[in-house]
A and B are shown apart, each in its own frame.
Chain A
Amino acid sequence: DIQMTQSPSSLSASVGDRVTITCRASQRIGNNLNWYQQKPGTAPKLLIYTASTLQSGVPSRFSASGSGTDFTLTLNGVQPEDFATYSCQQSYSTPRTFGQGTRVEMK
């Protein structure tokens, strides 16, 4: 199975900050990488697919890049509604493994 490792596990940010989360795959996965946002007690929400494609309706302050094994998710100008947990997922092969999640907390 492909292992997905995110860093950091958690971070503190203030409204307006720029935040970057990284995700590393244990083998090359091309651009087969998704990012999800999840708030407590709710279902995950798709933010980004194929490494850098913004899902419809997702604010443009979210961006992502990467290919192969190393990927990043960037929030430019964190808003109050962005405090949540972010998870990456590879869709290159089955099982479609997730990273352990990065919790973005308010400073």
Chain B
Amino acid sequence: EVQVVESGGGLVQPGGSLRLSCTVSGFTFSGSWMSWVRQSPGKGLEWVGNTNPAGSEQYYVDHVRGRFTISRDNTKNSLYLQMNNLRDEDTAVYYCARDFATRTSDYWGRGTLVTVSS
């Protein structure tokens, strides 16, 4: 059975930092592209970025590039999202998802809520 579990969300002040984690099981994590997708309250989905299986390539949406960093530890079946200089508009539920060959996300976690507020 596939499991994708995000953690690390919480309340953080503007300008602060937070590190999200995603731990998976049930598929070959080390062979999978992985993505982060977020959803602001009452809004649509937004792709944040992804990384290749080796963790040597990362791609980001423009307005998080330079502030967010995606990394992974294949020995721990874990994906990470380091978020720095957080802004109010980064408030969202953050989902971790596996990508397969067609750059489509098929397995998703339940998400973790990040609230940026003073």
Q: Could you tell me which A residues sit within 8 Å of B by CB distance?
A: 1, 32, 34, 36, 38, 42-46, 49-50, 55, 87, 89, 91, 94-101
Supply 8 A–B pairs (Cβ within 8 Å), ascending by A: A38-B45, A43-B109, A44-B37, A55-B106, A91-B103, A91-B104, A95-B61, A98-B44
| Chain A nearest CB, measured from B27 CB (Å) | 14
Chain B residues with a Cβ closer than 8 Å to the other chain, count: 22
Contacts of A1 in B (CB 8 A): 62
In the complex the two chains form, what is the Cα distance from A100 to B42 in whole Å? 11
In the complex the two chains form, what is the Cα distance from A54 to B50 in whole Å? 24
Q: Name which residue of chain B comes closest to A56, CB basis.
A: B106
| Chain B nearest CB, measured from A36 CB (Å) | 7
Q: Are A99 and B103 in contact (CB under 8 A)?
A: no
Q: Could you tell me which B residues sit within 8 Å of A by CB distance?
A: 35, 37, 44-47, 49-50, 59-62, 95, 102-106, 108-111
Q: Are A43 and B106 in contact (CB under 8 A)?
A: no
- On whether A44 and B104 interact (CB within 8 A), knowing A95-B61, A95-B62, the answer reads no
Q: Name which residue of chain B comes closest to A35, CB basis.
A: B104
Q: Name which residue of chain A comes closest to B95, CB basis.
A: A43
Q: Are B102 and A32 in contact (CB under 8 A)?
A: yes
In the complex the two chains form, what is the Cα distance from A46 to B50 in whole Å? 17
Q: Name which residue of chain A comes closest to B59, CB basis.
A: A94
Contacts of A91 in B (CB 8 A): 102-104
In the complex the two chains form, what is the Cα distance from A38 to B110 in whole Å? 11
- On whether A98 and B102 interact (CB within 8 A), knowing A43-B108, A43-B110, A44-B95, the answer reads no
Q: Are A44 and B45 in contact (CB under 8 A)?
A: yes
Q: Are B47 and A95 in contact (CB under 8 A)?
A: yes
- On whether A96 and B47 interact (CB within 8 A), knowing A32-B102, A32-B103, A43-B95, the answer reads yes
Contacts of B60 in A (CB 8 A): 95
Max chain A CB contacts within 10 Å: which of B35, B37, B44, B50?
B44
| Chain B nearest CB, measured from A7 CB (Å) | 14
In the complex the two chains form, what is the Cα distance from A38 to B37 in whole Å? 13
